[in-house]
Structure formats: C-alpha cells, structure tokens
Amino acid sequence: MSGITGWVDFTRDLIAEDGTVRRMTQSLTHRGPDGVGHWTTRHAALGQTRLAAADPGGTGEVSVVAEDGVPLVAAVCTGTVFNAGDLRAELKGRGHRLRTEGAAELLARAYLEWGEAFVDRLVGMYAIALWDLRTEELLLVRDRMGVEPLYYHRGASFLLFGSEPKALFEQGQLERRLTTDGLREIISSGKTPGHAVMDGLNELRPGHVLRIGRDGVRIRRYWQLTAAEHGDDLDTTVRTVRRLLADAVGEQLVADSPVCSLLSGGLDSSTLTALASSWTAEHGGGRFATFSVDFVGYADHFRASHMRATPDGPFIRDVVDHCGTEHATLVLDSSELTDADARTGVLRAMDLPAGMGDLSTSGYLLFRAVREHSSVVLSGESADELFGGYSWFQDPAVVEADTFPWLARHSEDDASGAGLMDPALYAELDITGYHARRYQEALAEVPVLAGESRLERRMREITYLNLTRFSQILLDRRDRMSMASGLQVRVPFCDHRLIEYVYNVPWSFKSFDGHEKSLLRAAARDLLPGTVLDRRKSHFPRTQDPAYDASVIAEFGKIAGRPEAPLTALLNPAAVAELGSDGQDSLAGGRIVLEGLIEINNWLETYDVALDI
C-alpha cells in the first residue's frame, strides 16, 4: 500500500460519512494507483490506496481480521515491511491462518499476537493504522526513521489521519490557517519533529505510536537511538558496515517489478548501485537500471562551491562503465524548470511550501521519468547524516558553533529572507531565538556516552541533529516528489540496524583517514572506481543557468507588484523596490530566498490559507 487515511469520532455515526471517507481516500490515488479500499463502521473509518510493487501480495482492500466470524481488527498500511516473510512464518507457526500475502493482514495478525509490542519486530519503511474493534481504539504507527509520512489532526472528540495533508483537508474540519509559529517553521531552514506548519496539523514523530480511545490520546516512543560502547576494531567495523548495508540493499530489491537506482556519481548512490547491480546479476536479473538528472549547458555554467565541487556527469559515466548498468539521464532546460504545470505539481504534491526551488522541480520531473521504467527506486538519503559526509562535519568552526550545523555558515537572516520581509513582522518572528529554542530541545534528546571525549560527544550530537532534523527535510521532499508519480523510493541507509550500529562508531573511525565518510569509503573500496572513491561530496545539482535566475527574479517581481497577492502582507515594500533587476546578487541568500518566497505566496493563494500573524 502507499496511501492511508482515516477518521475516528466517538460522537457521530461515520457510516453516514462514507462519501467523505471515499473522497479522503481518493485524494491519495497518486500514491497508490493500483487499487483503492474503504472500510467504515460506526465510530471509525479507514481508507487506503495500493501500489502493487510496494505490497505484492496485497489486494487493495482494507484488511479485517476475524475469528469465529467475529471481526477483531481492521488494518491499513503504507510502505513496505521488509521482514514480512519471517513474520508470516512465525505467525503461522503460532497457529495464525493468513488468507492473503498482503502486509495489512499480516500486521493485524501480528497485533493480535503481540499487542502493541508488534512494532518492535518490524523492519522497513511504514505507516500503519489499526482499529481494534474489541476496545474501540485506533493505533497509529510510524517507522523508526520517518521514511513514510503520517499526519494527524485532533479535534474535541475526533481524530483524522493521512499520508498527506490533502486527505485531512477533504474531511472539512481542519482549518487552513497559518500562525506565527507556522511561519517561523516555514522560513527557519529546518524541520521540527511533529510540527506540520498549519495550525492544528501534526506529524506523528518517527519511531512513535499514537493510541486514541474514549479516554483520550496517548503517544509513546517505541524506538530511539541509544549510546553504547563500540567494541569492534576498525577492520571489523568496516566489514560490519559492508554486511549491514549489503543486507539492507538485498532486502529492498525484492519487489514485483524491476527495482532501479538513482545515480549521481557520488559515494552513496554509487555504492548502492554497485551492490544492487551485483545482487541483481546473482539473482538472475537483467542489467540494472540507473537514472540521473542534468541541465542544458550545466558544464558551461558550472561554478564550484563548498556545496558542489564538481559536476556529476564524468563520475556517473565511470560508475556506469564499472558496474555495467543501463543508464538514462533526464536533461532539463530552464523552461521545464519554470513550467507552470510542473510548479503546480510540486505544490500539490507537498501541500506545503517545498522550500527548495528548482531542486524540488527537477526531482519531481526526474521521478516522473523513472516511473515510466519502474515503480521502485533506491536512493542514498541519510548516508551523509550517518557517516559524516556534509562539509559541516569537517569544519572545526561549524562543529563548535552553538546552533544547528547547517545554519552555522550563514546568517539566519540571510537564509530566512529577512532583507525583504516587513521589519516589524520579522522582529516578532525572532528567528534567531526560535532556532536557539529548537536547538536546545534537540540537544536535550541526544543520547551520549559517559566518559566520551569532548570531540566524540560533539560529533555524536551533530550526527543526531542531522539524522533527526536535517534528514527529515530531505526524506519528506523525496517522498512527495516521487509519490506524486506513484514511485516508491527505498532508502537502504535508513535501515535502523545500520543506523544503530554506525551511530555508536567513534568519530575517530568515521574519519580515520582524514577524509569525509572514511568508514563508508572503506566499506565500498572494492566496489567502485578510484575516481568515485576519491571524489569530494557534491550535493544534488541545481541549475546554474542565468536564464533560470532571471525567470525567478521576474516571477517574484510580478507577485510583489500585485497588491492582492498574499505574500505582500509579509514584505517590506521599500526593500522590494530596491531589489532591482540584479535580484539575487543584491539580496542576502540569493535565488534560494526568492524561490522560497514565491513558493509561500503560491501556497497561500492556491490553498486559500488564512494568515493569523
């Protein structure tokens, strides 16, 4: 399954609301185009859409498990449980009779056998909803790393949930309202776990379960990182990382359609490609397929920076030749990146400002192209967060900064567009103070080890901040941009067993040769060509075409020139007037700030969001 939604209300008969539940479910058919299922009882309603490759044995129907003709549990789920085979065998050994090969029935049976503790046995990326007809309680579960999204809204006597906000909007009781806190979240260059921007809209945090019954709502954390002594030497650690990653890749290549991979020529995607192409060959598959994105004239316009040291193209070719993959590159020009339909598609996929400009649009278009080949693709998210790949892991000044490391190199005012915002409003937002509060909240969560050196403790903190805050931004974007086309992205580096192990590997091992991601590089040394092993980290490419920059400036100017545009309520007219045709060059934060403000305006306008600031 790939989209779930539902409604629990103890004060009304939801059987009479079946049409609303159907609309809620129908809003998610892009996530699961292979089937739609609904189930409604007096106080609970569930819906799901099915992506066949994500749940090969499923039927698309809501699974209702009964004993002796008495219904006990109804279940829907999204994502994939990678150890489903082992769970099925164990449940059968305990006397359970499973009618289907689908994940929803399996999870309902697991709940009947082990209660809420069944979540501890799961390996995968998933969001689950279970209605217990015996107790009239709803259980919501989200995977450990938050790969699968799960939103909810709690009213006085009801609760709505869904894989995307749009499903909740269809029910009609969730107001589309943006408060000061929501605006802070949008422009603060980060993601606060559980916060979903709109007033009253929440995300279930990764590794948590929510239970609602007549006595109220209880939320419990079922998984968290823990600090422990690392007893392995370096050689054993390298071998263990390789084994854990190879196992995760092998598990995630099982699907009922060909699985492919994104390939940037960087260490993360290249390692996944090498492992996956080898596994595919060993299991009798054909040539493994890989995909990348490029831009017209990118090499001509390329300017090296600390974010992107080199273009991807030459390194991609080296990996393709080395691994023998069947490769395709989507080459985009500026007109495609500024296409109104593509921009609208990104907005409708997110239901919120994406905040990443052309990165979101190019990803959206790339995933649409990949979907023509397959419905499942591997991607390398969270490798940099786990192994220390970002430049801020290597910069002593950033490491010591008393803030989120991705903010340390830039003024918070630059990143948030302070130069164009109404001064009084920006002062009220107090973005610096907001970051400080969120940073201290995050630090308080970090599990540390007694006796660690100051550096080891700090690098553990930075790793935790990256895994629980920064990674969530990228995982959210990846999910929405891919699922808009019914494409499931699997992320082997988010395997919780790998993360638990590497989190406790000392920084001295992770950086043993003085280079970024030393440990992962060592684990992949025999898999990749030397050019890729020696390559510096380079982020997902952004177009550097001056024509695209000019179009962004022009679009912002049109919005700022419309008094009825909702964004104008947030802007400083004098600063906008001074921006001029040189746009990004005269503005701190540059094009990214303008793209972000454009997205905010289009979101406020398209979704008719009320400003309460």
Say how many domains are in the chain: 2
In a domain, 115, yes or no: yes
CATH number of the domain that residue 74 is part of: 3.60.20.10
Cα–Cα distance for residue pair 489/472, rounded to 1 Å? 14
315 shares its domain with 452: yes
Q: Determine the straight-line distance between the first and last CA of the chain, rounded to whole angstroms.
A: 39
Show which of 489, 511, 533 is a domain's final residue. 533
Cα–Cα distance for residue pair 543/300, rounded to 1 Å? 11
Q: Note down the domain range covering 181.
A: 3-221
- Dihedral sign, Cα of residue 188, residue 595, residue 148, residue 389: negative
Joined tokens for residue 578? 């001074």
DSSP letter at 466 equals I
- Residue 289 has φ and ψ, to the nearest 5°, of -100, 140
Cα–Cα distance for residue pair 116/114, rounded to 1 Å? 6
In a domain, 566, yes or no: no
Q: Are 73 and 108 in contact (CB under 8 A)?
A: yes
244 shares its domain with 216: no
Strands 488-490 and 70-81: unpaired
341 shares its domain with 239: yes
What distances in angstroms separate CA 349 from CA 61, 336, 397, one per listed residue? 24, 17, 38
Residues of the chain with pLDDT under 70: 1, 411-416, 580-589
270 shares its domain with 214: no
Cα–Cα distance for residue pair 504/225, rounded to 1 Å? 9
259 shares its domain with 168: no
The strand ranges marked E within 87-226 are: 124-132, 137-142, 151-154, 158-162, 177-179, 202-203, 208-213, 216-221
206 shares its domain with 334: no
298 shares its domain with 369: yes
* pLDDT tens digits, one per residue of 164-175: 999 999 999 999
Show which of 486, 513, 533 is a domain's final residue. 533
Position 298 scores a pLDDT of 86
CATH number of the domain that residue 252 is part of: 3.40.50.620
276 shares its domain with 367: yes
In a domain, 443, yes or no: yes
With a CB cutoff of 8 Å and minimum separation 6, the contacts of 30 are: 3, 349, 483, 484, 485, 486
CA angle 187, 190, 192 (to 5 degrees): 110
How many other C-beta atoms can be found within 10 angstroms of the C-beta atom of residue 532? 24
189 shares its domain with 333: no
How many other C-beta atoms can be found within 10 angstroms of the C-beta atom of residue 121? 14
In a domain, 543, yes or no: no
216 forms bridges with which residues in the sheet?
213
In a domain, 332, yes or no: yes
536 burial (CB, 10 Å; 0-12 / 13-18 / 19+) is middle
CA angle 520, 526, 530 (to 5 degrees): 85
Cα–Cα distance for residue pair 206/107, rounded to 1 Å? 18
In a domain, 269, yes or no: yes
51 shares its domain with 139: yes
Cα–Cα distance for residue pair 477/514, rounded to 1 Å? 32
With a CB cutoff of 8 Å and minimum separation 6, the contacts of 241 are: 498, 501, 502, 519, 520, 523
In a domain, 598, yes or no: no
Show which of 221, 249, 277 is a domain's final residue. 221
In a domain, 611, yes or no: no
336 shares its domain with 457: yes
pTM of the complete model: 0.96
Position 310 scores a pLDDT of 87
Q: Alpha helix (H) ranges present in 31-153?
A: 84-93, 103-114
174 shares its domain with 251: no
